[in-house]
């Protein structure tokens, strides 16, 4: 490994001024692949072969643990920067400006029973044990502290900057979990980031599977006060605590333990909820649950710590259903620090919702949109094509309604084709011939039309779920579905002279930005409860370098009940900034970056939003800031004010 690394370092040093190696070839991923292949061919020993993804962890470990050896390599700051960039795995992971950490809640009954929803009893409803985030959750006993700790280490090993983190909490329906558990779960997410220390690892996060440093506590007996207390303060002791409770974290063992229940659920003899209640009411889980509660005061302490932490939370995402969105539930989410809600709506066609056992009406979905908007949340929806009862033509019309009807208009969409997994109840309909997946061409055509209909202020974040092809009985198995769709979108957009407006296809991602060429553009659109202004920095080619979502609420909107009006979190004639996002390669919080960040683009967006709100007659602007961005907004003149930060408009 060291020999390969030294060869790379030498090449960087030789060609640094040209950004090329000594042979004049660019030092890029192709060059690196070639070097690794050449070295491995020369070794004739599989055990000692070089793995590309191991090079950066090896480098960082040597730097931290063997400084004498590291110094002998003569790597200065400029050389290191180039080295990290070259060796970084999956650069797109942090291309949108933040490092994302997805965590999964523990298995728990869901208050709905949708026909297409997977019933994997090892997981919270709708998730499958072999999805990457689910595997990580299982290895970590579904514990939030342990999940964050292991993910943070993995991202750091891959060379990603993790000082700005978006936390995505997935698993069944969040609102179905007891509030005690919700508060504990989120407090632990923050605590893990607060405890993790800086990028160089001055308080290194324990590795997954590390030997427990506080094994003695486990000897006190499961869930004793001492054990619980230690478990709260030490990841290694936490893992030991779960083991002492009798919980397993090995995938094969868990498959064995749940096999009988899974068979009964898949055969339709038992529901997911019944099986989960039986499996997780066992002593081991009950003992483990004794530490799974926290007070709001504890949560707020972790929030306060995070304001100045090395890994700050710049977004917290929670997923739930529209029928569970109320002023009360949104107030709780806001207290947790939530900034974005993922809401499963799947369809706006009443008959399709009914056929798929979605117990919600389009009117209730519209009400959820209004409440989310007035509370300032970013609205991220899940929408499915090819549900039971759907047709390609109907799906296109349904999506069109989502993105043009002023009662809806989401900020982000996960646009999935329905796939059949064995444990879902849709299996019976498939066997009876009542449901079948669309042929690939028809599916791609629906998605192409949807992308082309998507407005400039909406981002399609995904087009497939992370379900492995082995789990899919029927439906799309192509992991590159999005590329197929985008290729056809480009073709059609060129042929019809119609530019693609959807955000993800326009964002600059890892690209460099010519700041002077950027233009500030404003897209105005009406929703049933607010006028929205989407302020965007765009390049001459129409690429997007940053944006802000400003809501100018209409508190007299006829769709609101007097009770809802009484519970609004901000007064009449006050505006709301729902999101500020600047793209570009992630730069450290206090360092100058090469991308669009740290060039004042965010600040200028905020100033423009305040000016527009004032001109429209609003007396103050609120921002749904995340805990880790509070200091930033204070510096821009915002004051902490209840669930938000607020700037009066003089
Ligand atoms: S609400 Fe979500 S998690 Fe619950 S059954 Fe329906 S799709 Fe699955």
Q: What is the mean pLDDT of residues 482-494?
A: 95
| Interatomic CA distance for residues 538 and 103, integer angstroms | 33
Condensed to tens digits (0 to 9), the pLDDT of residues 390-424 reads 999 999 999 999 999 999 999 999 999 999 999 99
Kindly list the distances between the CA atom of residue 356 and the CA atoms of 114, 267, 347, 364, 583, in Å, as whole numbers in the listed order: 6, 19, 10, 17, 38
565-570, long-range: CB < 8 A, 24+ apart:
567/327, 567/328, 567/331, 568/327, 568/374, 568/375, 569/331, 569/334, 569/374, 569/375, 569/376, 569/642, 569/643, 569/644, 570/376, 570/622, 570/644, 570/646
Judge whether 592 and 598 are in contact, CB under 8 Å: yes
Q: Which residue has the CA at smallest separation from atom 3 of ligand 1?
A: 172
Query: Tokens 């030294």 — which residue?
Result: 6
Condensed to tens digits (0 to 9), the pLDDT of residues 168-183 reads 999 989 999 999 999 9
pTM exceeds 0.85, yes or no: no
Condensed to tens digits (0 to 9), the pLDDT of residues 124-154 reads 999 999 999 999 999 999 999 999 999 998 9
Q: Tokens in use for 69?
A: 């050896």
Q: How far is the CA of 117 from the centre of ligand 1 (A)?
A: 6
Q: Does residue 327 form part of some domain? A: no
Q: How many residues does the chain have?
A: 650
400 lies in the same domain as 452: yes
Choosing from 87, 121, 141, the residue where a domain stops is 87
312 lies in the same domain as 453: no
Q: Does residue 620 form part of some domain? A: yes
Q: Does residue 191 form part of some domain? A: yes
Q: Which residue has the CA at smallest separation from atom 2 of ligand 1?
A: 172
Judge whether 592 and 516 are in contact, CB under 8 Å: no
Residues within a 6 A CB radius of ligand 1: 110, 112-114, 117, 125-126, 172-173, 321, 344
Domain residues for the domain of 527 are 507-648
| Interatomic CA distance for residues 236 and 143, integer angstroms | 12
3-state secondary structure of 592: coil
227 lies in the same domain as 120: yes
Ligand 1 atom index nearest CA of 272: 5
Q: Tokens in use for 297?
A: 């005061």
Q: Tokens in use for 412?
A: 């982000």
Q: Which of 106, 123, 126, 271 to probe ligand 1 with, by most ligand atoms within 8 A of CB?
A: 126
Judge whether 92 and 461 are in contact, CB under 8 Å: no
Q: Is the pLDDT of residue 207 over 80?
A: no
134 lies in the same domain as 27: no
How many domains in the chain? 4
| Interatomic CA distance for residues 483 and 506, integer angstroms | 14
203 lies in the same domain as 225: yes
Q: Which residue has the CA at smallest separation from atom 6 of ligand 1?
A: 114
Q: Is the dihedral of CA 556, 562, 568, 571 positive or negative?
A: positive
Question: Would you place residue 523 in the very low, low, confident or very high pLDDT band (cuts 50, 70, 90)?
Answer: very high
204 lies in the same domain as 109: yes
81 lies in the same domain as 98: no
108 lies in the same domain as 248: yes
The domain that holds 538 is classified in CATH as: 3.40.630.30
Q: What is the mean pLDDT of residues 608-616?
A: 98
201 lies in the same domain as 250: yes
Q: How far is the CA of 355 from the centre of ligand 1 (A)?
A: 14
Ligand 1 atom index nearest CA of 173: 3
């Amino acid at each position: 490994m060291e020999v390969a690394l030294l060869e790379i370092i030498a090449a960087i040093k030789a060609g640094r001024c040209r950004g090329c190696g000594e042979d004049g070839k660019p030092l890029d991923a192709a060059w690196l692949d070639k070097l690794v292949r050449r070295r491995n061919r020369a070794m004739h020993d599989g055990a000692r072969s070089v793995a590309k993804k191991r090079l950066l962890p090896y480098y960082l470990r040597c730097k931290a643990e063997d400084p004498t050896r590291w110094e002998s390599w003569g790597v200065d700051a400029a050389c290191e920067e180039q080295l990290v960039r070259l060796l970084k795995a999956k650069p797109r992971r942090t291309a949108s400006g933040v490092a994302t950490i997805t965590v999964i809640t523990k298995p728990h009954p869901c208050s709905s029973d949708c026909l297409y929803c997977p019933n994997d009893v090892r997981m919270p409803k709708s998730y499958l044990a072999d999805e990457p985030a689910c595997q990580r959750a299982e290895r970590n006993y579904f514990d939030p502290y342990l999940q964050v700790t292991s993910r943070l280490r993995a991202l750091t090993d891959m060379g990603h900057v993790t000082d700005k983190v978006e936390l995505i909490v997935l698993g069944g329906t969040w609102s179905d979990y007891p509030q005690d558990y919700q508060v504990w779960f989120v407090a632990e997410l923050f605590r893990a980031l607060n405890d993790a220390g800086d990028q160089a690892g001055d308080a290194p996060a324990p590795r997954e599977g590390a030997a427990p440093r506080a094994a003695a506590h486990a000897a006190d007996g499961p869930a004793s006060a001492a054990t619980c207390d230690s478990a709260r303060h030490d990841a290694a002791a936490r893992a030991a605590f779960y083991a002492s409770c009798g919980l397993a974290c090995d995938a094969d063992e868990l498959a064995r333990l749940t096999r009988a229940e899974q068979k009964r659920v898949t055969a339709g003899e038992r529901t997911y909820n019944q099986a989960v209640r039986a499996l997780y009411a066992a002593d081991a889980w009950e003992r483990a649950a004794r530490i799974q509660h926290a007070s709001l005061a504890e949560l707020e302490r972790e929030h306060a710590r995070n304001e100045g932490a090395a890994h700050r939370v710049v977004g917290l995402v929670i997923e739930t259903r529209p029928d569970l969105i109320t002023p009360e539930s949104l107030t709780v989410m806001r207290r947790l620090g939530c900034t974005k809600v993922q809401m499963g709506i799947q369809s706006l066609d009443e008959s399709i919702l009914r056929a798929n056992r979605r117990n919600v009406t389009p009117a209730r979905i519209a009400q959820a949109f209004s409440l989310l908007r007035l509370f300032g949340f970013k609205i991220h929806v899940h929408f499915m094509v090819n549900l039971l009862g759907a047709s390609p033509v109907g799906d296109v019309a349904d999506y069109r309604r989502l993105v043009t009807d002023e009662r809806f208009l989401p900020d982000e969409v996960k646009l999935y084709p329905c796939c059949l997994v064995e444990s879902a109840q849709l299996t019976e309909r498939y066997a009876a011939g009542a449901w079948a997946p669309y042929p690939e061409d028809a599916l791609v055509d629906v998605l192409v039309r949807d992308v082309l209909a998507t407005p400039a202020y909406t981002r399609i974040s995904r087009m497939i779920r992370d379900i492995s092809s082995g789990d899919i009985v029927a439906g799309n198995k192509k992991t590159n579905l999005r590329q197929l769709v985008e290729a056809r979108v480009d073709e059609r957009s060129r042929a019809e002279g119609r530019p693609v407006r959807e955000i993800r296809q326009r964002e600059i991602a890892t690209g460099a930005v010519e700041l002077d060429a950027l233009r500030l553009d404003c897209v105005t659109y009406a929703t049933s409860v607010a006028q929205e202004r989407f302020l965007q920095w765009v390049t001459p080619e129409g690429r997007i370098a940053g944006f802000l979502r400003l809501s100018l609420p209409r508190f007299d909107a006829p769709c609101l009940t007097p009770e809802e009006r009484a519970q609004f979190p901000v007064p009449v004639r006050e505006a709301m900034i729902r999101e500020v996002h600047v793209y570009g390669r992630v730069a450290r919080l206090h360092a100058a970056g090469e991308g669009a960040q740290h060039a004042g683009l965010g600040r200028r967006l905020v100033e423009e939003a305040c000016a527009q709100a004032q001109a429209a007659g609003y007396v103050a602007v609120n921002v749904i800031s995340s805990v880790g961005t509070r200091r930033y907004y204070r510096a821009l003149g915002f004051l902490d004010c209840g669930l938000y930060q607020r700037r009066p408009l003089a």
